[in-house]
Amino acid sequence: MSPVSIGPHRLYLGDAYASRPTLGWMDADVMDPPYAFDNSGGGAFRKARGASDQIVEEGLDRGFDRSIIDASRSGAVVVFCHNDQLGDLIPELAEDDREQDALLVADMFAHLRPRFHRAVLGVWIKPNPSPMANKNYLADMEPYIHAWNRGYFPQGEHHDKHRWIQCGSIRKSVYDHPTVKPADLMEKIARNVAGITVCDPFMGTGSTGVAAIKAGKVFTGIEHNPKHFATAVRRLTEAWEVSQREAA
C-alpha cells in the first residue's frame, strides 16, 4: 500500500511485520509494541474508565514477535515493555563490563548480542498511575530499553541523559486510545536517539512521530488499526504544519 506523505514523513496503514522489512535502514526504531501481561481485574475503576477493556479488545495485551527488533536495519532501538517482559527483553550487550550497569541478564541476550553494542534500562515515572494493583505494586513506573550500535550512542543535553523522566499519563478519551505516550516522554526519547530517520512500527496515534518532527527528524510510521492511523495522520499533519510555520 502506498504511504500517506506529510512533507518528508511517511505513514503506512498495514502490518508492521510485513512492512518494516521493506523500508530499509533507519537510524532508530522507536516502538511501543503490545505488552504481554494479565490485564484482568480493576473492579469499579475498570468499569468507569474502560481503557483496560479497550487494551484487551485491541489485542494490546498479547505480546509481540521480537523479530521486529533487528539491528541489521537500524542503528538503535527503543522498546517499551511491561515489567513482566523485562526478563525476555533486556540484553546484556556491553563489550566493556567495567562500564556497563548491572542490569538483568536476559534470555534475549543470545538474540540481540550479535547486533547491538550496548543497552540501558530507562523508566517513565507516572505521578498519576492507574489504581489497578491486582495483588501487585501500582504501575507507577513503565520501563523501556534503549539499545544501540557503535556510532548511535545516546544524544542530548545534560538533562536529557537521565534514564528516567516523570510525566503524567494521557487519558484514553483524548485520542480514543488506551496507551498513548505523553509528549514530554517521547520528546526526550526523540532527542536521545542518534541520527535523522526514525521508524515506529507500532505507531498508534502518532506520538513518536509528533516528537520526531519536533526534534527535526524524518519519521516513518506503521499502524494496522485504521481508526488510530487516521488520528496519527491528523496529528502529524498538524505537527508538520507547525514546524513549517516556525521555520518560516
The answer to whether 60 touches 207, Cβ cutoff 8 Å, is: no
CA 56 to chain centre: 19
CA 42 to chain centre: 25
- pTM exceeds 0.85, yes or no: yes
pLDDT for position 102: 37
C-alpha cell recorded at residue 72: 541489521
Q: Which residue has the cell 508538520?
A: 240
Question: pLDDT tens, 116-165?
Answer: 888 888 999 999 888 777 778 888 999 999 999 999 999 999 989 999 99
Give the count of domains, the chain. Answer: 1
Residue 6's DSSP bridge partners are: 9
Separation of alpha carbons 12 and 19, rounded Å: 8
Query: Which CATH number fits the domain that encloses residue 150?
Result: 3.40.50.150
pLDDT for position 191: 98
pLDDT for position 224: 97
pLDDT digits (tens), the chain, 248 positions? 789 999 999 999 999 999 999 999 999 999 999 988 777 776 776 666 678 888 888 888 888 898 899 888 999 999 998 887 776 665 433 344 334 443 443 444 344 445 788 888 899 999 988 877 777 888 899 999 999 999 999 999 998 999 999 999 998 889 999 899 999 999 999 999 999 999 999 999 999 999 999 999 999 999 999 999 999 999 999 999 999 999 88
Sign of CA dihedral 149, 202, 14, 64: positive
pLDDT for position 133: 75
pLDDT for position 62: 87
> Which domain covers residue 197, as residue numbers?
4-247
CA 65 to chain centre: 15
